[in-house]
Amino acid sequence: MEIDFKHKQAAHCENGVVANLMTYNGFTVSEPMVFGIGSGLLFTYIPFLKVNYAPVVSYRAMPGIIFTRFATRVGIKIKREKFRNPQTAKARLDENLKRNNPVGLQVGVYNLPYFPDEYRFHFNAHNMVVYGKKEGTYLISDPVMETVTSLTEKELEKVRFAKGAFAPKGHIYYPTAFPEKLQLEKAIIKGIRHTCRDMLAPVPIVGVKGIRKIAKLIRKWPKAKGIKIANHYLGQIVRMQEEIGTGGGGFRYIYAAFLQEVGKLLANDRLLELSKEMTLIGDQWRDFAVEASRIYKNRSNNVAVDQYDHVATLLEDIANKEEVFFKKLKKAI
């Protein structure tokens, strides 16, 4: 069976799945809208955790939480289920497809055959929609891909039961109940307030303070860890910032797009101005990435320490700008 499902490519998988599932159910919402209402924008440094032998920073809220927040705020209900047994997981998926219900799945990236090899890491918080099954093959709408694709039963089971951090355990989810009309206005305000609160949180590893913390670490790394490791760490930060799914500039451009859309919807010129300002902050993140890549480009061990100070200064400048920005944003709504 094949459900008449419209695939639309998105920058980020979770927003994309939500936007596409909403559209299928007759509510057209854009990716930036899902991201903004779900308060996806964030900056966190996660100490004591290493991925790929480097410290972890995140430019977005925890996997899954964007959809949960979006759903509560606009008034839709979601059903979520995880499984211990792959057979039960498969049966539940097949039942839904038989009922003509396209569903979201959380999967691991490492065993996705259609991903470029270089991008196949043990990352378990990827999202996709399954919208049908034909001759034992599942029809897949993966939001980061240009077109739809398919996976065999065995391939799908493997990615649904990937192991490691954030193991998906066959996680399946779909909206079950909708209001007559989405309560967008209230939801938008809640979403924005939440993001402002996160970014200005008085926690040393979160938001603006988190950016300052990373800047401080970058200054320390070359002396404390040596050039080779410092460069590896710096590369990892840029990868997290610009990885597929961020839409560029560590999600800042998607957020600017959200503010523009919302500014028009609510007829709030302040938000339109702030959207422009966020775009410029996005540019600054891009500049940071360019300068950082000049350092790690050569993989040589001869890097003047003042170059690290230079990129750290860029980050501190971004932190200052974002602090002012989110204070203004809080007042604008």
Residues in touch with another protein (CB under 8 A): 9-11, 32, 52-53, 110, 114-122, 144-146, 163-165, 167, 231-232, 235-236, 238-239, 242-245, 247-249, 253-254, 256-257, 260-261, 275-276, 279-280, 282-283, 286-287, 289-290, 292-293, 296-297, 299
The rounded distance, in Å, linking the Cα atoms of 132 and 141 is 10
Minimal distance, residue 35 CB to another protein, in Å = 10
Query: Which residue, 160 or 209, is less far from another protein as judged by CB?
Result: 160
Pair type for strands 172-177 and 77-81 = antiparallel
Cα–Cα nearest to 67, from 143, 145, 121: 143
The rounded distance, in Å, linking the Cα atoms of 279 and 196 is 17
The rounded distance, in Å, linking the Cα atoms of 32 and 314 is 26
330: tokens are 């809080």
Minimal distance, residue 6 CB to another protein, in Å = 16
Length of the chain: 333
Query: Which residue, 92 or 228, is less far from another protein as judged by CB?
Result: 228
Query: Which residue, 130 or 289, is less far from another protein as judged by CB?
Result: 289
Minimal distance, residue 101 CB to another protein, in Å = 26
Residue 163, classed as helix, strand or coil, is coil
Minimal distance, residue 64 CB to another protein, in Å = 19
Output the DSSP codes for 101-139.
Answer: --EEEEE-STT-TTS-GGG--S---EEEEEEEEETTEEE
Minimal distance, residue 176 CB to another protein, in Å = 29
Minimal distance, residue 84 CB to another protein, in Å = 12
Query: Which residue, 11 or 103, is less far from another protein as judged by CB?
Result: 11
Burial (Cβ within 10 Å: 0-12, 13-18, ≥19) of residue 333: middle
Minimal distance, residue 152 CB to another protein, in Å = 15
Query: Which residue, 135 or 146, is less far from another protein as judged by CB?
Result: 146
The rounded distance, in Å, linking the Cα atoms of 54 and 230 is 9
Query: Which residue, 72 or 149, is less far from another protein as judged by CB?
Result: 149
Are the C-beta atoms of 215 and 316 separated by less than 8 Å? yes
Query: Which residue, 97 or 257, is less far from another protein as judged by CB?
Result: 257
